[in-house]
Structures are given as C-alpha cells and as structure tokens.
Structure 1
C-alpha cells in the first residue's frame, strides 16, 4: 500500500513520553507526493515554511537541494521556486531508501543575547550591549522508499544539526515508539528539546498542539503517535561565536515522516 499524502493528512492527536504544548512559529518542512515509491520512478517533493502543517506559506530556497540514494551517493537537485513552495523531483528508479534534503541553507541574521542561560532574540526592541549577531541555518529532510527499505541513506552526514534514524523512517508504526538520535557535527546532544507536530485536520473541532520530548544522555529520543498520518519533528541548537567578529549560529533541523498502522 502506498504510504501517501492522502493517508498522511489524517494525522491528529499525538502521544509522547513527555509532552508539553509549544507556541507555533514558521517551521520548515519537506513533503513528498508519496512516502512509498514502490510504483514510482519519480517523487515530487515540496519545500516550504509554515505555521500550519502542511499548508505552505513561504518558499524554502536553498542552493543545496539533493537526494542521497540507496547507494549512499548524494546527487544535487534543481529546484523550481514558486511564491509559497519549492519543487524538486527525485528519481527513484532503484529499489531502496532515498533521503531528500534541502542541505544546510543560510538564513537571516538577527541580534541575540544570553538571558538567564538561554538565547533571546531582539526584534523591534533595543538589544542589550552584549547582544551578538546570530545567523539562522536550516535543514529539512524526508525519506521515501521504493520496495524494501535500505540503510545507506540513513548514515549521519556528520556536519551541523541532524537526526539519525534508529527506527527506519519507512518502518514507523502507529502506536509504537520511533527512535532517533539528535546529533551535532556527528556527536550526540543530550537534553535537547524536540517538538513533534501532526498535520492539521481542517475539519476537527480543535487543532492538535505540538508536543515536546527531550533527548537522553546518549542523544536518543522516542516519539509515538496514536493516529496514522504525516508528522514533522524539529529541533533547534544555538552556538556562540567561535572567534571575535564572527556571528553565532542558530541551527534548525526538521524531518517529515509518515506513520501507518
């Protein structure tokens, strides 16, 4: 059965080991036409920023769109930009799992300062004297599989912020834990907050709020959903400047996956 967008948009309520609501903001995502490409030689993927998953709002531009195939080889993709979405086509002629990625894309720079041990951004208000420039760096990814799942495309890139899938993304099952590792430059991040958001059900009386889990000492975390659908997991990690005159870096990583019974 095709793990498709049609099935994914039924997503709603979430079940997590540790769950607290979080405020919505524009978040990045990639969304494929299908997750199961068993009868496809090409999968079309859209990239956007949104406050309502998965309704596109702001096009996600990047010079590093690519697909990593079942052989582990990275191939650049040429995006087409519309006002609200970027479109890329990934060739999926060979069996196995494909990783479609925006690559690490640079965003805007804003003023930020450490306040009570946490980074605070200042927009439309006067920044303190110790504020620094903080550049946004974003990467969004998604996995699709043709035939039997394979593991080569799951290998960590080892640079920047990313999730390493312990549970294969094409084997995520509703009602069961899906396990990931959060890595920065290839090393696990302990105590990292990860949010999970499902597709909005436009006909539901209430919208499902985002939930948050925290990675353990080994950088591992688990998410579990109680409805089949399409979901996005995301985390942010901020790094102070490494040398005078350089900006800090605010990394955001987002992964879209589908869960079916």
Structure 2
C-alpha cells in the first residue's frame, strides 16, 4: 500500500503546475500556404504538448493580426473556437505573401499577501490599478510572444514580412514560399530589430502522434542571426525560439522573455 503524499509535497506539486503548463506549445496549422489569387485557406490554432496535435486547448484569437501583401490589415472570416482548437478562414484576394500572426505581450507579477502567494497577468496600463505598489516580495516580468504562419497567392513579395523592431522576429532570407525537400533555407532572427546571434532554434515536423519520438532538431544562429535549415520530409514544420534578458520596455518589469514561433510548409520538389 502506498503512503499518502505529505502535505508539503502536495504544495510543491501545486506550485509547479503553472510551470508545467508553460511547456505546452501554441501553433497555427494552415490548410495550404501556396495558392492562387482568390483562393481560400482555413487555419487551425491550438495549444498542446506537441505541435499540431489537437488534444489540449483552443488558441485564443483575440490578438490575431493578418497583414496582406500590400501591408494593410485584413480580417479573418468564419472564426470559431471549440474545446481543442480555434479556426478561421482567409480569402487571398491580393497577389503576394500574407503574414498571419497572433501577438501576445504583457506583464506577469507575483507577490505575497497575508502570507499567501498572489499572481497577476495583464497589460501595463492596468498594472498600477490591479497590483499593490508596495506588495511584499513583488516580482514583475515582461513577456513578448509572436506566433506566425504565412500564405502566398501567386508571386510572393516581402511587404508583410518586414520586421517591427520589437521582440523576437524572423526574416526569411530565402523565400518563405519556396521551401522544398532537399533544398536549404536561410532565416534571420532579430531581437528588437538587431541580429540575434547564438540563438537556439527548435524544429519539429508534423506527425509526432505517429512517431515513436518527437524528432525535434535544434540549430543555432550565427553571428548575423542567421540559421540554415535543410528539409528531409514534406509537410508542416514548427519553428520556435526564445530569449530571456533584462531589456524590458516598461519600467515595472525587471526581466523579459521574448518568444517566437512559426509554422512553415515544406513541399515536395
């Protein structure tokens, strides 16, 4: 007979749960990424332990931003959210490359109140009103997250792909619509608009549910923030990277976590 878990162990386990939850990966899964003008795509958005496996939570679409090939912002259609995934449709009315992004940024705070731990998450403009200024043991961090995928109608262009200069971003050096098995692709990662050297980039191919291992591969950017990737299998691929530093954009926070995730489609030659 197993002994009951001590109370202290239960408390430690409960405290660890938020960190375990952070291991889940957010992803976008487009039905296609290379099409003709006026064709439609549908995109699934979810959060799960492994990319593209619909088994945990739907991704919120509140911060969905779609940039058209001319640089304007366009709206998704037929948005819906279920238990395990969200979904939306997009008609590619313009020729060129669209950037489909979910942008998440805000502050995380923790402190002690009446001997009990308190946690808060929200935007910088609400911080002063909702977090005690003299809270005991107050710790504040900033998070900047960018989750993206891309779709191209006809001839690609790069207007929608220009970096904002904020947080961690990816800039395709080789074409984002020209990813083929057996060919090398080059991407540049930027942090606040500058090259991000020695950045670890994780790549996971779709189909983890049907493999014995996740099969993730890791690469590092060079001094110019560039990473070269070779593709051995067609299909969707999940790319992710993150950094932690003290370069916050708000005075309340002392540290920052900037993350970037993209879904790209690799085609057969």
Q: TM-score, normalised by structure 1?
A: 0.74
Contact 2:61–2:86 under 8 Å retained in 1: no
Q: Which residue of 1 aligns with 2:146?
A: 139
Distance in 1, Cα, partners of 2:96 & 2:201: 28
Find out whether 1:256 has 2:263 as its counterpart.
Answer: yes
Q: Following superposition, which runs of at least 4 residues in structure 1 exceed 6 angstroms of deviation?
A: none
Distance in 1, Cα, partners of 2:170 & 2:247: 23
Contact 2:50–2:208 under 8 Å retained in 1: no
Greater RCO, 1 or 2 (C-alpha within 8 Å, sep 6+): 1
Q: How far did residue 52 of structure 1 move?
A: 2.0
Name the one with the larger helix percent: 2
Residue ranges of structure 2 left out of the alignment (5+ in a row): 1-21, 111-135
Larger C-alpha radius of gyration, 1 or 2? 2
Q: 2:217 aligns with which of 211, 214, 230?
A: 211
Q: Which residue of 2 aligns with 1:121?
A: none
Matches within 5 A, 1:158-169: 158-169=165-176
Q: Which residue of 2 aligns with 1:66?
A: 65
SS of equivalent to 1:153: helix
1:122-178 deviations in Å (ceiling 9; x for gaps)? xxxxxxx99943343322111111122222222212222111111111101112211
1:92-146 deviations in Å (ceiling 9; x for gaps)? 12222111111x21378376xxxxxxxxxxxxxxxxx999433433221111111
Find out whether 1:155 has 2:153 as its counterpart.
Answer: no
Q: How many residues align?
A: 220
